[in-house]
Structure 1
Amino acid sequence: MVEIRTRALPREVGLHHPVADDWAGLRDIRLRSIANFPLGFFESFAAALALTEADWRERGARNAEPTSFQVVARTPLEQQWVGTMAAFLSTGPPQYDLNRPATITGPVRANLVGVWVDPSFRGRTGVAARLLGAVCAWVTEEQHLDRLYLHVHESNHRAIRFYEKNGAAATGEYINDPRRASERHVEMVLSTAR
C-alpha cells in the first residue's frame, strides 16, 4: 500500500512565554513531549510525572531569570500548547549529567533544550521555525551572543535535517546519553544572526 501524504499548510499559532502560573501547561507539554520521543530528553516520563505542582512552578519561574528563556506555541482559540523550545546560558558546554560534578569552564554560550512540536503541527506548518526564531532573537538581542548550541539524539534524523536547514552544523562533539550510555547526542551549532 502506498502512503499518500498531503502537504502541511501553515498553521496559526501564537507564541507565549510561560511563567510559574503556567505550571499545568508546562507539565502537560513536557509529559506529551517525553511520551512522544523519549530518546530526545534526558528526563524520563516517570521522573517528570512524579514532579509536584511546586516543582513545575519552579520550572516556570526560571523563565523570568535573565539567563533562561522558554517559548511555547499555542493555538489561538483553545490555547492548546503545540510546541516548545527553551534556552539557557552556561559557562562552556553544559553539564547535563547531574550525577557528575560540573568542572567544565569556558566562554558563555547559549544552549537550546526542551525542543518538541506536536506531530500534527510538524512539517511545513512553520511552528518549529517560529519557535527557533524567537529563541535566536533572545540569544542575539538579549544575550548579545551570535551562536546557539544544541544536542540532538543521533537517531532523530528529522530534527537534524530541520537544524541543518536552519544553518546548523555538527561540531564533531557529542555527549553520551546519561540514561543510555551506548547512545549519543550530537552537538550542533547555528548562527543566530539572521
Structure 2
Amino acid sequence: MTLRPTAGHELRDGGGGAMELRALDADDWQLLRDVRLRALKDSPAAYLADYEDEESWPEANWRRRFAGSLWVVAQEGDRVFGLARAVRVDERPPDERHFESVWVDPGDRGTGALRAMLRYLEDAEPRITDWLVWVLNDNVPARKVYERLGFHPTGERQPLADGSGRSEIRFRFRTDGAE
C-alpha cells in the first residue's frame, strides 16, 4: 500500500473502519499536546519524558516541537489514536531520520496504525533510506513490534542520563532493503 503525505488520506484498518493519516503543523499544537499527554499517561515507562513536565509546557514549547520534525497522526473521525514523528538529527547523515514519539492507543494496537504511520513518513521523505529508532532496553514489546516492521538492532546502545542503569538500543530500517 502506498500512502501519500496529503491531508485527509484514508485507508482501511484491519477492523474495517476508516483510518485517516495526516501531517500536523505548528497550528495543530493543541492536538499534539493532547495526544502526546495521553501517550505519556498511558505508557510512562516507554518514554524518557514524563507527563508532569510536559503537561505544564506553554504553547511556545509545543510549537517548537515542530521545528525539524514531521508529525503524523492516525485517526478515525475526530478520534486520534496514533502519533509519530520523523526527526532530522543534525550530526547524522542527511539520508537518515529518527522515528520518535511513537504511540498507538492500546485499543488500536495491532490494526496496522504504526506501520501506516511509518509508511506515511517514508512517502513524505522519499530520499530517506535509513529510519532509526531508539528503544528502551527493557521495553520488550516495542522491540518485538519494531522487529516485525523490519527494523534490526544496530549494536548501538546509549545509557540513560537518569542514573537508573537503563539504556536504549538503536534499531534501523533500510528502505532500500540493505541491512
Structure-1-length-normalised TM-score = 0.76
Matched, 1:191 2:178: no
Q: Which amino acid aligns with 1:51?
A: W
Structure 1 partner of 2:120: 134
Matched, 1:50 2:75: no
Structure 1 position 57, deviation (Å): 2.8
Structure 1 partner of 2:21: 15
Matched, 1:113 2:100: yes
* 2:24/2:70 contact within 8 Å kept: no
Q: Which amino acid aligns with 1:16?
A: R
Aligned residue for 1:85, secondary structure, equals: strand
Structure-1 separation of matches of 2:63 and 2:156 = 34
Structure 2 partner of 1:175: 158
Which protein is bigger by CA-based radius of gyration? 1
Aligned residue for 1:17, secondary structure, equals: strand
Structure 1 position 11, deviation (Å): 4.0
* 2:25/2:71 contact within 8 Å kept: no
Percentage of identical aligned residues: 27
Structure-2-length-normalised TM-score = 0.82
Give deviations 1:113-164, integer Å, cap 9, x for gaps.
10000001101x111110111122234x1xx221111101122222211211
Structure 2 partner of 1:95: none
Q: Trace 1:34-113 onto structure 2 (pairs within 5 A).
A: 34-60=40-66, 62=67, 67-76=68-77, 79-92=78-91, 107-108=93-94, 109-113=96-100
Give deviations 1:54-81, integer Å, cap 9, x for gaps.
3223324x2xxxx4211111112xx121
Aligned residue for 2:65, secondary structure, equals: helix
Aligned residue for 2:61, secondary structure, equals: helix
Aligned residue for 1:178, secondary structure, equals: coil
Structure-1 separation of matches of 2:151 and 2:98 = 13
Structure-1 separation of matches of 2:155 and 2:108 = 31
Q: Which amino acid aligns with 2:103?
A: W
Deviates more, 1:111-120 or 1:178-187: 178-187
1:31 is matched with which residue: 34, 37, 43?
37
Query: CA separation of 1:12/1:177 partners in 2, compared to 1, >3 Å: closer, same or farther?
Result: farther
Matched, 1:164 2:143: no
- Greater share of residues in strand: 2
